[in-house]
């Protein structure tokens, strides 16, 4: 989810920095926020160390104090420059490190450290990932128990609900961050413990069917309320996509069904990135507000026997990121059919759905320079994902898979997937 990339030399992402903290101007406030994180990590480490049967994670207080300092505020910048465009679950315009929950600030900071220039501090940050992950998920567990068991979700303030969102955002980011570390123990823990907890949380809180309030046309939309609901919508979708990704990588049954994702589709990028309430309302007035078609409705349209043309697709004004979401979501249907033994019966329908995805894609990129498209991250992902699903369908029917990827369920690493891809490309 949070692939590491080289820093860009140009200023194409400069707008992401405009409202983010500056170490010189915000040093004292940031230091206070970082001290809270350090104290929480230290207290958790002490508590875990006293339990002989509990998990034991590395932690050095002096090292943490060198990492979490205002001088490293560029880690936050790097997150919004590189990770955020690929996994846009945090509302950047309203992100204030002095006000967000420590779990979210910590996760954003540590994710950003992966894109920082090599230094002793940047190289030390990953040593904190395991304990930071435990802190995030412990906090999430406590908040969810509070809201679900005591019914606070129905009566609590918008501020408290926003903080619950922030802890879930931070936990999902730590989940993705740990996954890319490519360490077997971390991946196993993520797959067997963290992902099920994220899925369970989404279900308990109802985020998989989160919908915006319906406001009469011409009336102003409450920006804060929109951000709250849109965050829940995106969390529901991106936890589902994380489950889909794990299903593909390890050849295992999806831990979420696409039929669960019945909430609104995520809004347009320019609406999500609107810097002010006025700018947001102007976009709403232009008709770029809520997208009420759900991911489940889109999926049903793709496999419908009554499909006529892309013009009747329920989601309008498709973008390249939309197509990545759609094809990755569709992968769960392919995997479920294959592992349940029903793929031979529905292979033609699945192939047809991929053809329809290609038609939708053509409507987005038609006429654009192929060389430019080949450099676009979303374009590469879509083409690769579509090719992979076709190859999986074909190989599952023929049974010709010397890699062993399709033959066993629940691999412990991605070795089998890599072998499958290598042999498929010959």
- For the stretch 375-390, pLDDT in tens is 556 667 888 999 999 9
Given a cut of 70, whether residue 242 has pLDDT beyond it is yes
Mean per-residue pLDDT for 54-83?
93
Rounded CA separation 202/242 (Å):
12
Rounded CA separation 203/192 (Å):
17
Q: What is the 3-state secondary structure (H, E, C) of 15-72?
A: HHHCCCCCCCCCHHHHHHHHHHHHHHHHHHHHHHHCCCCCCCCCCCHHHHHHHCCHHH
**pLDDT for 6:** 35
Query: Of 45-49, 132-136, 288-292, 308-312, which range is least confident?
Result: 288-292
Q: Higher pLDDT residue, 217 or 325? A: 325
What's the pLDDT band for 216 if we cut at 50, 70, 90?
confident
**pLDDT for 8:** 34
Residue with tokens 């940050």: 125
| C-alpha distances out from residue 307 to 278, 291, 364, Å | 40, 21, 19
- For the stretch 200-212, pLDDT in tens is 999 999 999 999 9
- For the stretch 268-295, pLDDT in tens is 999 999 999 999 999 999 988 878 899 9
Report DSSP letters for 301-337, one per residue: HHH-TT---GGG-SS-S--HHHHHHHHHHHHHHHHHH
Phi-psi region of 367 (alpha: psi -120 to 50; beta: other; left: phi over 0): left
Q: Higher pLDDT residue, 149 or 282? A: 282
Given a cut of 50, whether residue 2 has pLDDT beyond it is no
**pLDDT for 426:** 82
Residue with tokens 């989810």: 1
Given a cut of 80, whether residue 192 has pLDDT beyond it is yes
- For the stretch 150-187, pLDDT in tens is 766 555 578 888 999 999 999 999 999 999 888 888 99
Report DSSP letters for 249-295, one per residue: HHT---SS-GGG--SPBPPPHHHHT--SHHHHHHHHHTT-S-B---H
The overall average pLDDT reported for the chain is 89
Rounded CA separation 31/70 (Å):
6
Q: 4: which 2 tokens?
A: 């590491």
Residue 291 backbone phi and psi in degrees, to 5 = -115, 100
C-alpha R_g of the chain: 22
pTM over cut 0.85: yes
Contact 302, 227 (CB under 8 A): no
> From the DSSP assignment, how many helices (H) and strands (E) are in the chain?
19, 0
Contact 187, 179 (CB under 8 A): yes
Rounded CA separation 293/290 (Å):
9
Contact 319, 268 (CB under 8 A): yes
- For the stretch 23-62, pLDDT in tens is 455 788 999 999 999 999 999 999 999 887 777 899 999 9
Mean per-residue pLDDT for 393-408?
94
**pLDDT for 5:** 37
What's the pLDDT band for 11 if we cut at 50, 70, 90?
very low
Q: 144: which 2 tokens?
A: 């969810």
Q: Higher pLDDT residue, 26 or 410? A: 410
pLDDT above 70 coverage of the chain, percent: 90
Given a cut of 50, whether residue 12 has pLDDT beyond it is no
């Amino acid at each position: 989810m949070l692939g590491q990339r080289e820093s860009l030399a140009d200023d194409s992402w400069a707008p992401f920095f405009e409202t983010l903290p500056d170490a010189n101007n915000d040093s004292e406030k940031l230091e206070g926020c970082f001290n809270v994180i350090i104290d929480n990590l230290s207290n958790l480490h002490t508590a875990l160390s006293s339990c002989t049967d509990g998990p034991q994670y590395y932690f050095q207080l002096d090292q943490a104090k060198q990492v979490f300092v205002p001088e490293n505020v560029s880690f936050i910048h790097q997150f919004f420059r590189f990770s955020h465009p690929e996994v846009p679950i945090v509302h950047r315009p309203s992100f204030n490190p002095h006000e967000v929950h420590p779990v979210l600030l910590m996760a954003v900071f540590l994710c950003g450290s992966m894109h920082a220039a090599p230094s002793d501090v940047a190289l030390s940050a990953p040593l904190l990932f395991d304990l930071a992950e435990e802190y995030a998920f412990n906090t999430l567990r406590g908040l969810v128990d509070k809201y679900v068991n005591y019914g606070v979700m129905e009566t609590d303030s918008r501020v408290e609900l926003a903080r619950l969102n922030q802890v879930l955002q931070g936990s999902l980011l730590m989940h993705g961050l740990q996954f890319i570390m490519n360490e077997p123990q971390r991946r196993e823990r993520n797959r067997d413990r963290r992902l099920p907890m994220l899925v369970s949380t989404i279900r308990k809180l109802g985020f998989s069917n989160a919908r915006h309030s319906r406001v009469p046309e011409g009336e102003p939309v409450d920006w804060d309320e929109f951000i709250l609901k849109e965050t829940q919508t995106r969390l529901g979708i991106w936890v589902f996509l994380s489950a889909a990704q794990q299903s593909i990588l390890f050849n295992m049954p999806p831990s979420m069904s696409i039929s669960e994702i019945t909430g609104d589709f995520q809004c347009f990028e320019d609406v999500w990135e609107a810097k002010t309430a006025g700018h947001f309302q102007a976009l709403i007035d232009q008709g770029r507000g809520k997208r009420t078609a759900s991911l489940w409705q889109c999926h049903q349209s793709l496999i419908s026997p009554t499909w006529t043309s892309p013009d009747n697709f329920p989601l309008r004004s498709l973008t390249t990121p939309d197509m990545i979401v759609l094809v990755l979501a569709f992968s769960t249907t392919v995997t479920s059919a294959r592992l349940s033994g029903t793929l031979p019966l529905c292979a033609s329908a699945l192939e047809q759905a991929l053809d329809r995805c290609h038609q939708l894609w053509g409507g987005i990129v038609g006429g654009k320079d192929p060389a430019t498209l080949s450099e676009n991250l979303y374009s590469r992902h879509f083409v690769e994902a579509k090719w992979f699903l076709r190859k999986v369908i074909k190989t599952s029917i023929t049974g010709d898979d010397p890699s062993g990827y399709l033959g066993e369920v629940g691999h412990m690493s991605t070795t089998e997937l890599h072998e499958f891809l290598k042999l498929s490309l010959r």
